[in-house]
Amino acid sequence: MTGPALIFDKPNAYIGQSTPRADTNRLLEGRGRFVDDIQLPRMLHAAFLRSPYAHAEIRGLDTSAAKAAPGVVRVLTGADLEGVVEPYVGVLTHLKGLRSAPQMPLAVDRARWQGEPLAMVLARSRAEAEDAAALIEADLDPIPAACDAETALDPDAPVIHPEFGSNLAWERLVDVGDVDAAFARDDVQVVSRTLRFGRHTGVTLETRAAVAEYDPSEDRLTFHYSGQAPHMMQFIFAKHLGLAEENVRVVANDVGGSFGIKIHTYGDEVATAAAAKLLGRPVKFVADRYESFLSDIHARDHVVEARMAVDKAGKIVALDFDDLTGIGPYSMYPRTSAIEANQVLNLTGAPYDLENYRARGRVVFQNKNMMCQYRAVGHPIAMAICDGLLEDAAAKIGMDVVEMRRVNLMRDDSYPRASASGMKLDDLSHQKALNVLVETMGYDALRAEQAELRARGVYRGIGFVSMVEVTNPSPMFYGIGGAPIASQDGATVRLDAGGGLRVSSSVTEQGQGTNAILAQIAAGVFGVPIERVTVTTGDTDTVPYGGGTWASRGAGIGGEAMLQAAHALKEQVLEVAAVMLQSDAATLDIQNGSVVDGSGARMTLSDLARTVYYRGNELPSDLKPELIATRHYRVTDFPFVFTNGAMAAHVEVDTETGLVKVLNFWAVEDCGRVINPKLVDEQVRGGVVQGIGGALYEECIYSEDGQLMNATMADYLVPMAVEMPDIVVRHVETPTKTSVLGAKGAGEAGTGGAPAAVMNAVNDALRPLGATLWQMPMTPERILKALGKV
């Protein structure tokens, strides 16, 4: 070293530039003094001991061997975090009757699912932490588990939370019209089916990860994580770790995929933050893929008994179903695990003109990993129920499925109106979207080819879905229920001295192209090349307050806030330019980074900004330009803004092997104003891929005693390039009247609609053989079983 450097007694101490990088890799315990060889307080790595049982009493945890293991600094158990972490409960007041028990980051007296964290080891490296975790002797007494949602409410079922008296977490009934009378009519045909939807999970490219740093001198926590909602997590850490909210900084920079998986409160992440506070040292946790399967939330665990009545003209007379879903042993905090079932009740049949509608939903606790919101929450179930029964009914009465949809879909000129469940709808285009779809796919030619191939023993099927997608949610979604989840988003736009724009937004980048959309909006509205726009997202210290990324709200809400902020800044700039040029602001504009009028460029933005920032004395004293603007936006008139679409799948079923090949897929979507067609199309395609995964491949398979049997990428099947068809995307644009931008969400429609389209296509291929299948994923074994071949 060329000279000493001072290391301050705080985790983010400054190291002088004279300190060689290699020297900072050696740990010294001395701090707050001059030293010749220094490093920041060394980051610790966390590993967790997780329960091997679905349900077990914790009699004791012997951590002595783990504490003595090389590199171990501390071992924490649930008891160690009592009094450090305030327990959390996943309920919302507007979901009347929803109940859940208080939850801690680490189990205290009882483990309630395989994979629940029991103890946390903090060591110099992840490898040392994992080795030490294996040395913990856990005295666990397995007790009977309630793993099957269908038996969880039986009188003799083990009750996971005895204080509740049963495993029922929540139930709701929607009953519109006279359903029983409609089914009793003698001029209707009735179809009844039991639909089963297997659990699956998000399988994000980047697993959940976090680095927590606590500065005791300022009582300040900084939490870097791979997540979607920094301001929500800021509130949660403040509340449950006893910190002032302004002393919590949460940072979520570019995230490697989320799909809703990373918008929840996970015990291992809360424990990571708590450990950093307890030890005063940075703590890092990165879930490995096995941990991800065990602990990332699951979704789609539903069993539905459904029936539909139709008349001879194909009109749906009534729809009736009972949905049962298992959510794990707790309701997830803070968004709750009842939202998916609630979405199923609200969205089933939403595209159709229904007078008689009854939907019952029951949410039950079970000893499996927790279930909560994942991309297209509830949509795949809702669309499959109604559109599956519709195509089944069409086959029964001998009517073409396209014509039956035309009879029942809401007319495009009938809005605003409400769905059967009471959802407020506007600016939709179901009939037009279906017509564009039929034309794009060449429907008549496909049907002719299908008949010809069937005569040769080749079984192809064509399946449709008409669907809606919840986007741009208002405060009536979460805020009304008391959740710390903002439905508004904010945007700040600043003109720098060099003439570029620096923008920040509360929406986060998860790989969906948010930053590109924000830059495009700001550049287009303000009048600078897009390469002169710098975007910052995901940091609670620097971005306006907002909700983050969820429910397809980035462009529709975050984009609208950016548009308004850019307009406001442009007005400021033109006001200043008018004074400097002795002109009328109404005659000026900004184009390609310069202020222009009818005669051409008059002044560069850089010249204007430098005058304001450096030579303000040249401006009138009553002109006080800020060259920065912040705006927030939220939807106010509707609980949601709905996107709609029509999709079709074309499949071939090998009746000897049960294998399904998706030959083609078409998606027509109306997401309002399309800002960036390439990004929107790829969002739709990515959603379709995940939807095909749920329909044909993906399932978290549990044993009867609650053991996850396929927690590796070798055993959990996801669709890959070879399984994917050409996905043709087309658009109908009906801008939403709730905003100036007119954009609706587009990120979840493919996932919400594709499973129903694929299921209908498979069943269309199987019907000539006297078979249908109503369970997802539609695996080869299940198809062969439906055909009576196994």
SS3 at position 445: helix
Q: Can you tell me the distance from the alpha carbon of 377 to that of 180, in angstroms, rounded to the nearest whole number?
A: 29
Does the pLDDT of residue 696 top 80, yes or no?
yes
Cβ(390)–Cβ(316) under 8 Å? yes
SS3 at position 633: strand
Lowest mean pLDDT among 35-49, 117-131, 329-343, 351-365: 35-49
Q: What is the mean pLDDT of residues 425-433?
A: 98
| Residue that the structure tokens 């570019």 belong to | 254
Token reading at 611: 């005058």
Q: Can you tell me the distance from the alpha carbon of 35 to that of 759, in angstroms, rounded to the nearest whole number?
A: 68
Does the pLDDT of residue 38 top 80, yes or no?
no
Query: What is the reported pTM?
Result: 0.93
Longest Cα separation, the chain: 96
Lowest mean pLDDT among 164-168, 472-476, 732-736: 472-476
Q: Which domains does the chain have, with CATH numbers?
A: 24-32+488-633 (3.30.365.10), 35-143+205-258+262-295 (3.90.1170.50), 298-475+637-786 (3.30.365.10)
Q: Can you tell me the distance from the alpha carbon of 742 to that of 259, in angstroms, rounded to the nearest whole number?
A: 24
How far is residue 262 from each of residues 230, 292, 437, 741, measured CA to CA in Å? Answer: 11, 11, 34, 28
C-alpha distance across the termini of the chain, in Å: 75
User: Quick one: three-class SS letters along 653-677?
Assistant: ECCCCCCEEEEEEEEEEECECCCCH
Provide the mean pLDDT of the chain. 93
Q: What is the mean pLDDT of residues 698-713?
A: 97
What phi, psi does 277 have (nearest 5°)?
Answer: -70, -40
- The model's pLDDT over 630-639, given as tens digits with 9 standing for 90+, comes to 999 999 988 8
Token reading at 117: 């964290």
- The model's pLDDT over 230-277, given as tens digits with 9 standing for 90+, comes to 999 999 999 999 999 999 999 999 999 999 999 999 999 999 999 999
Q: What is the mean pLDDT of residues 732-745?
A: 96
Question: What is the torsional sign of CA 244, 246, 539, 548?
Answer: positive
Indicate the pLDDT class of residue 41, thresholds 50, 70 and 90.
low
Does the pLDDT of residue 71 top 60, yes or no?
yes
Indicate the pLDDT class of residue 114, thresholds 50, 70 and 90.
very high
Instruction: Specify the pLDDT at position 1.
Output: 33
Instruction: Specify the pLDDT at position 40.
Output: 55
Instruction: Specify the pLDDT at position 26.
Output: 36
SS3 at position 93: coil
Q: Can you tell me the distance from the alpha carbon of 564 to that of 459, in angstroms, rounded to the nearest whole number?
A: 54
- The model's pLDDT over 657-685, given as tens digits with 9 standing for 90+, comes to 999 999 999 999 999 999 999 999 999 99
C-alpha 766: how far from chain center: 34
| Residue that the structure tokens 């799948």 belong to | 649
Token reading at 138: 């856990």
Token reading at 232: 């929500």
Q: What is the mean pLDDT of residues 130-135?
A: 98
Q: Which one-letter DSSP state was computed for residue 559?
A: I
